[in-house]
Structure 1
Amino acid sequence: MSAIPFDNSYARLPGRFFARVDPTPVPAPQLISLNRALAEALQIDPDWLASPDGVPVLAGNAVPPGAEPIATAYAGHQFGHLVPQLGDGRAILLGEVVDRGGTRRDIQLKGAGPTPFSRRGDGRAALGPVLREYLVSEAMAALGIPTTRALAAVTTGANVARERLLPGAILTRVAASHIRVGTFQFFAIRRDTDGVKQLADHVIARHYPAAAESRQPYQALLAAVIERQAALVAQWLCVGFIHGVMNTDNMAVTGETIDYGPCAFLDAYDPATVFSAIDEHGRYAYGNQPAIAQWNLARLAEALLPLLAPETESAIAVAQDLLAGFVPRFETAYHAGLRRKLGLFMDRESDVALAGGLLEVMTANRADFTLTFRRLGAAAADPAADRDVRDLFIDPTAYDAWAARWRERLAAEPRPGAERRETMDAANPAFIPRNHRVEAVIAAAIERDDFGPFAELNTVLAKPYDDQAAFAAYADPPAEYERVQRTFCGT
């Protein structure tokens, strides 16, 4: 029996869906971190993974029995411009396993060497982006947001050339699958309708089995993907997350968050916030993410048109009707999330304006997004705690005016203060991967070969909704000199 119980389905699709390629060995792999709980959920022995037999697998130096390494093909719109062939240029899918819950999961090595899709790239990953993705993807999982997961990270013992020489690393990423909107585009661009159909059938069987029972399974597939993406982006906004590079090749059809490149979390609330150094025109700003998600889904609908109806005109009408459902689905999920964050249990029409009013005064006063909502929980239980919220506003009276409306609304559905606070704290994290903390972790690892800060931050982020007194400083916003203005992709 293999140490990893592979059962590979994507590798059984036709050869044009991928390229078969083995990882390129590295000189001196060393384990940085192993997600033992995730390994156990995947029915993989974590002690074996951490052993002299397992680490070479995580580094791409050994291909375990049952693996069928492939680099998948896909296209994509990058910042609105279509690139007909992208594909896994630095990622190799080892294979799939079925976890303890019966869900099929991909196991992929990111940074495992060049593939036929590398486009002159080296196929490697620098240490910084690997640590960022490990931390942020695991933090997102702890926040309860659908996401790819980090199983392990290793250093390679070799440098990679970016803006300067940097230590190389490999991330072992786990996902329900790595099928993207851009995967469908790859076949649609080539007018390979049979390829689109085979891919759609695979996705339905693997991720949306209920769609197979529909009279129009491909319409049901598109509707289901739209619904999941609407819910996902609503969750992003509720924790202040900015993906940073929402290209169609970075949108998974599973509804998981994927590809943590120049991602970041808001400090001061402002819907126009952009961190990504490559997003020069703010296309993927925090507040633009819902509209971009709908735009990306329209590209998926275009790829699926031949399957939606026999005639093009009818197919377009079906697609437009389904896409029109994105906004109400997103708004329903987002507004429900805001109500939870404000401690409201019942849906009232005025709640949207109440939440919007808070966000407006937060923007005007540069109030910290995470701390404002977290401290509201204490203020809901004890009005004396208003002072801690007021301190976050340049003009505290702006908060006072809003808080009077909020307390009037709370009084309309009375609850014990402790109960309301508990509910709010479960919706408002105390700890997020603040950008300055992530950058400090990366700097310690690169400049001092010190992974202690990485391990500690990972520990804190595993319990984002808990008050962790020993780590209270991790909840603080950055000082002026610590602010991170730009984040980078690292490819």
Structure 2
Amino acid sequence: MRKLTELIFNNTYSELPSHFGTRITPQPLDNPSLVSVNPMICDLLELDPAEANTPYFADIFTGNDDLSGFEPIAMKYTGHQFGQYNPDLGDGRGLLMGEVLTSAGKKWDIHLKGSGQTPYSRMGDGRAVLRSSIREYLASAAMKGLGIQTTHALAVLVSDTPVYREKAEQGATLIRVAESHLRFGHFEYLFYTQRHEDLKLLADYLIKHHFSDLRDHPSPYAVMFQRIVDLTAVLIADWQAVGFAHGVMNTDNMSVLGLTFDYGPYGFLDDYQPGFICNHSDYTGRYAFNQQPSIALWNLSALGYALTPLLDKAEIDTALHSYQTRLQQEYSIRMRNKLGIMERHEEDSALFSQMFDLLATQAVDYTLFFRILSTIPASQLSGSHPLFSEIIRDMAPLQIWLNAYAKRLTLEQQSDESRLALMRLHNPKFILRNYLAQTAIEQAEKGDYSMIDDLLTVLARPYDEHPAFEHFAAKPPEWGKTLEISCSS
């Protein structure tokens, strides 16, 4: 493990042309202090977690001191927001501070959110508040624990600097860590400004640093786009299977590496609602839970259009046409694992359809349904289940489905013990429900950060039991299901 001053930097993005971003230093926050540090992300960077408890750490990441190796850049990109192209985007409250190189040669971006105004702030203050920083910090930990590709968050820092939203709040900084912060919008920016040579340069950069096996491929850009399509399909399958709604799937929030990016008004499903809208600002439901697969394809089409100087139409169409098939394949694997069904039979489609109808009409808690199901041996599926009675209003439709499920399981070759073990590996007991994040935020705003660290513990291993934190796995209170989260969060 290294100290901060021992980190090795390899700032490749800063070597790109100047119009790829603007060099700018963070604007200091007053009297900064640590809220929480994630030791698992320290491990990624080979950073000693004890460093986070030093005043130097807080000063470095809040603009009050310098670290040799940092070359802060506000990245320039554009993108489609709610379907409309916006040319005025970029890191408006963030900075790419530098790229840490580990002993194994792995490159990690260090990125600040809440570092002050940049040329892309669009009249904003460039700041982040404590509540939104905590939400992203916990969400990235939750996704990592669930095995879903994501950006990470090393730590949250808070300050005495007031930041004004609906009311005065504490200014904060989130230290984000990712393999790359390249977005669909980076390519859109270069395409729409007709910088086609730079578009090729950025594609070459992506291939060199992240798809290096394509460097000698006879059609590297076509395969690059195909890989982005595949990574996106896998990501969306993961989201849909676990019940995650992103809330702001603009193209500037889409990663070319298939990472969950820019956590804002996200939400995990409580009661199963196919049309669940987690973003209170999404008035039309464009980014509703059940719209995410089609919106991802829309975004990929926008990226494909931006890559037309490098690809012909047939190459773009081939990749886009493969998206739905790959998504369905990946989603099917995940849902079969959730039900412990390994073999394929004709009646499976009807079984899944009936299950989703049951979940929707009965407003069943999505996570608890599958976790409870993961504890019931096949021989007991026809009996009474008090745990189910706590989350389902009418037990009669459930029992009809359970009988069909039990009959389907007789066609499986695996043992019942193996089925249940498999299901518990794919049905988390703990998810980051909105009310849990909100409760942790309210405590943190009073200076108590203990719930944040408790949540980190269970979110790191959400498939385990964690008896000391059983209350985090309980059915949410009614008020917790109706929290309004918007982009301003």
- TM interval, shorter chain, is over 0.9
Amino acid at match of 1:94: M
**How many angstroms apart in 1 are the aligned matches of 2:330 and 2:313?**
26
Identify which of 329, 334, 344 aligns with 1:332: 329
Q: Please state how far the C-alpha of 1:362 moved relative to its aligned partner.
A: 0.4
The letter of the residue matching 1:111 is G
Q: Which residue of structure 2 lines up, in the alignment, with residue 312 of structure 1?
A: none
- The TM-score, its normalising length taken from structure 1, stands at 0.95
Structure-2 residue corresponding to 1:408: 407
CA contact (8 A) 1:378 1:385 kept: no
- The amino acid that maps onto 1:392 is I
Q: Does 1:441 align with 2:433?
A: no
Q: Which residue of the partner structure matches residue 365 of structure 1?
A: 362
Matched, 1:62 2:65: yes
Q: Could you say what secondary structure the match of 1:325 adopts?
A: helix
1:159-170 to 2 correspondence within 5 Å? 159-170=162-173
The answer to whether the 8 A contact 1:298-1:323 is kept is yes
How far did residue 100 of structure 1 move?
Answer: 5.1
Pairwise CA distance, 1:45: 2.6
The reply to whether residue 95 of structure 1 matches residue 92 of structure 2 is no
Cα distance in 2 for partners of 1:363, 1:165 equals: 40
Contact 1:4–1:64 (8 Å) recurs in 2? no
Q: Structure 2 residue aligned with 1:242, among 242, 245, 248? A: 245
Output the amino acid matched with 1:163: E
Post-superposition Cα deviations, 1:439-484, rounded to whole Å, max 9, x if no partner, equal 11111222x2221222222222222001122211111222223323
Task: List alignment gaps of at least 5 residues for structure 1.
Answer: 309-314
Structure 1 segment 78-227 matched on structure 2, within 5 A: 78-99=81-102, 101-227=104-230
SS at match of 2:173: strand
C-alpha contact 1:335 1:352 (8 A) present in aligned 2: no
Unaligned runs of 5+ in 2: none
1:274 pairs with 2:264: no
Q: Which residue of 1 aligns with 2:236?
A: 233
RMSD: 1.5
SS of equivalent to 1:378: coil
What does the per-residue CA deviation read over 1:175-218, in whole Å, with 9 as the maximum and x for residues that have no partner?
11110001100111111101111111111111112222321111
**2:160 alignment partner, SS class:** strand
- Relative to structure 1, the CA distance from residue 467 to residue 48 in structure 2 (aligned partners, 3 Å threshold; closer, same or farther) is closer
More displaced, 282-291 or 38-47?
38-47
Q: Distance in 2 between matches of 1:420 and 1:485?
A: 36
Structure 1 CA distance for aligned equivalents of residues 202 and 74 of structure 2: 16
Name the TM-score, length of structure 2 as normaliser: 0.96
Task: Give 1:390 deviation, angstroms.
Answer: 4.7
Aligned twin of 2:300: 297
Moved more, 322-331 or 46-55: 46-55
1:488 counterpart = 2:486? yes
The alpha-carbon deviation at position 350 of structure 1 amounts to: 3.3
Q: Alignment identity in percent?
A: 39
Say yes or no: does 1:429 pair with 2:428. yes
- Change in 2 beyond 3 A, CA 1:333/1:32: same
User: SS of 2:443's equivalent?
Assistant: helix
Deviates further, 365-374 or 202-211: 202-211
Partner residue of 2:450? 452
The answer on whether the counterparts of 1:129 and 1:489 sit within 8 Å (CA) in structure 2 is no
Residue identity matched to 1:102: G
Q: After the TM superposition, which residues 385-404 of structure 1 pair with which residues of structure 2 at under 5 Å, given as runs?
A: 386-404=385-403
Secondary structure of 2:308's aligned partner: helix
Looking at structure 1, the residues matched to 345 and 8 of structure 2 have their Cα atoms a distance apart, in angstroms, of: 50
